[in-house]
Chain A
């Protein structure tokens, strides 16, 4: 708007930023929900070894398999076993383990993979993307063409082949997802840096005598990193979705592994007799992923200078 009021001191600064964030939060309270979900899931992941014995997932108790004894809810379908003894709030799985405990153990595993993938992708993206954009020429062309190759094929296909060939372990799983993820970040950082490096202050720094490395890593990259971080927040959810989809189709290190996708996979065979087995792990994935997506979406609005007026 040309008609915007004059911008002066009180309109900006850190205090105004916070004020602005709160204002947007008022317009869009869903962001708060995302924030809370993300924080709770991270806290849950951190304290999960305290809540549940971390090695309890090896223990099978086939007497207690597939039973439901939570009096708060009745599934209304035949063939549901009742368990005796202690209460399992979300029932038990086919190995007789408490589903709720397994889910508590699963959250840190999924979050850790997601963080590893996203952070590595950001690092790779910043490194190659900024160099491609700033140096340009042949190096830019080369990096672009390599990303082209990876963007031309559905990532999940590449991941499946990698996991089958390289062995089913959490490391390979992480690597396989990362392989399909990094090109987006290279592209994103590249386009951000391309836009940023055309800004007049870069020209001013060059005129001042600042070297390329200094301009790129002290000024340009920090100024273009916010959209990348927003994307990283959004992608935590998407990575969890991809990882759990891979384990869901059986590409898991061990059938016993408490990983949300794997738990759901164990549950799908009993979809009509023990629906909770697929319902709750999937719901957890949905909630965590939604939380990070809402958070990222909100942060994007806050950081978007065009929305300010």
Chain B
């Protein structure tokens, strides 16, 4: 892999200790991120998809250094950022920003839009004069499709979609090169969702941004992302070009996930295939292949051996013992 990756994580782990007992000993760990290696290319939208509790949000937060990784490395433009602290971390934050799921809660209710937009400029001293700050704020608000009159208002005066636009504008205020989008549209209505997705695409085109797009919504991932990683219980089980991943899933979990998504077309009604059982607790991860208990193709090998991550085609990685066999069986 000689290619120059924009963001690269290697063997990234994030365990949350569960404390208990008389002296608050660590009894166990929630293995939220359990050895993730991925590369994000400059200027692409990298999708991270999985069900709730699979660790995708924790992975996003770990990359953003909102929580310290337990182990492993994160490189942003070649620079190791997994251990930086203090002033250096603050400087890193100028390059990477995050947009959160809930636009109702991710804005300070007591802060006007103008003050919220100006705050990052103040923190990072990117803009010096008050006039310039105001001008930047007006520019930003127009960039996200609102108008400068809105600057004096407070978050509760806006609808969900408008708030998410404000949150995006704030993230853009320090002119980052990289944004983690954590479920940016899941609390919005479909008609509004389309607006926000379009806005995000436009901004990316104009500013040359790199996105990591976290979502549980496969349809949105398909529309937005160039490449996609599927997470299950803290690990990436399949990673490929979005097109290839959706058209030709190799991992049984990816396949199950895709076939349980209903399609908004009654003509294509296929009867949803269902996966049995629930996601196991991330505290007691099954030995061997973690998907084995729910996998209908599991064998003894799956029970004993953790499957390796293999590149079965160029840029198509799968963590499964018997990938090709399933590829055949899906098509019938």
Residues of A within 8 A of B (CB): 7-9, 12-13, 199-201, 203-211, 214, 219, 222-223
The 0/1 profile, CB within 8 Å of A marked 1, for residues 261-294 of chain B is 0000000000000000000000000000000000
List CB contacts (< 8 Å) of B73-102 with chain A.
89-90, 93-94, 97-98, 100-102
- Contact partner, B110, options A200, A208, A223, Cβ 8 Å: A223
Alpha-carbon distance between A210 and B167 when the two chains are bound, in angstroms? 15
Q: Are B156 and A214 in contact (CB under 8 A)?
A: no
Query: What 0/1 readout, one digit per residue, does chain B (97-118) give for beta carbons within 8 Å of chain A?
Result: 1101110011111110000000
CA distance A199 to B106 in the complex (A): 7
Residues of chain B contacted by A214 (CB below 8 angstroms): 123
Q: Is the CB of B119 within 8 A of A204?
A: no
Q: A8-B159, A207-B93 are in contact. Are A200 and B105 (CB under 8 A)?
A: yes
Q: Do B109 and A12 touch (CB < 8 A)?
A: no
CA distance A264 to B123 in the complex (A): 58
Max chain A CB contacts within 10 Å: which of B108, B110, B123, B157? Answer: B108
CB pair B156 A12 closer than 8 Å: yes
Which residues of chain B are near A199, meaning CB under 8 Å?
Answer: 105
Whether A210 contacts B119 by the Cβ 8 Å rule is yes
Interface residue count on the B side (C-beta < 8 Å): 32
Please give me the 3 A-B residue pairs with the lowest Cβ-Cβ distance, nearest first: A209-B93, A200-B106, A207-B98
The answer to whether A207 and B64 touch (CB under 8 A), given A200-B102, A219-B111, is yes
Q: B72 interface residue, CB < 8 Å from A?
A: no
- Contact call A208/B102, Cβ cutoff below 8 A: no
Q: How far is the CB of B157 from chain A (nearest CB, A)?
A: 5
Tell whether, in the assembled complex, residue B97 and residue A219 are in contact, meaning their CB atoms are under 8 Å apart.
Answer: no
Q: How distant is the Cα of A8 from the Cα of B160 in the complex, in angstroms?
A: 9
The verdict on B66 contacting chain A, using a C-beta distance below 8 Å, is: yes
B170 sits at the interface (CB 8 A):
yes
Q: Which of chain B's residues has its CB closest to A222's CB?
A: B110
Q: Residue on B with the closest CB to A6? A: B159
When the two chains form their complex, are residues B102 and A206 in contact, meaning their CB atoms are under 8 A apart? no
A208–B170 alpha-carbon span in the complex (Å): 9
List chain B residues, Cβ under 8 A from A8.
159
Beta-carbon nearest neighbor of B99 in chain A:
A204
Give the chain A neighbours of B156 by CB distance below 8 A: 7, 12-13
Once the chains are docked, how many angstroms separate the CA of A205 from the CA of B97?
Answer: 10
Alpha-carbon gap, A200 to B164, bound state (A): 13
Partner of A13, one of B97, B157, B174: B157
Chain A nearest CB from B182 CB (Å) reads: 10
Q: Closest CB-CB distance, B126 to chain A, in whole Å?
A: 11
Additional 6 contacts, C-beta under 8 A, given A7-B159, A201-B107, A223-B108: A200-B105, A201-B105, A201-B108, A203-B66, A208-B123, A209-B123
- B123 and A210 contacting across the interface, CB-CB below 8 Å: yes
A79 to B278, CA, bound (A): 85
Give the residue of A12, A203, A207, A211 whose beta carbon is less than 8 angstroms from that of B97. Answer: A207
Judge whether B108 and A200 touch: CB under 8 Å. Answer: no
Q: Does B19 contact A (CB under 8 A)?
A: no
Q: Which residues of A contact B123 (CB under 8 A)?
A: 208-211, 214
In the bound assembly, the distance between CA atoms of A244 and B7 in angstroms comes to: 67
A9 to B153, CA, bound (A): 10
Which A residue's beta carbon lies closest to that of B124? A209
Whole-angstrom CA separation of A201 from B166 in the bound complex? 13
Determine which residue in A8, A204, A206, A214 has the highest number of CB atoms from chain B within 10 A of its CB, and name it: A204
Bound Cα distance from A124 to B102, whole angstroms: 34
Q: Mark B145-160, 1 if CB is under 8 A from A, else 0.
A: 0000000001011110
With a cutoff of 8 Å between Cβ atoms, the chain B residues found around residue A7 in the complex are: 156, 159
Which of B101, B156, B159, B167 has its CB near the most chain A CB atoms (within 10 A)?
A: B156
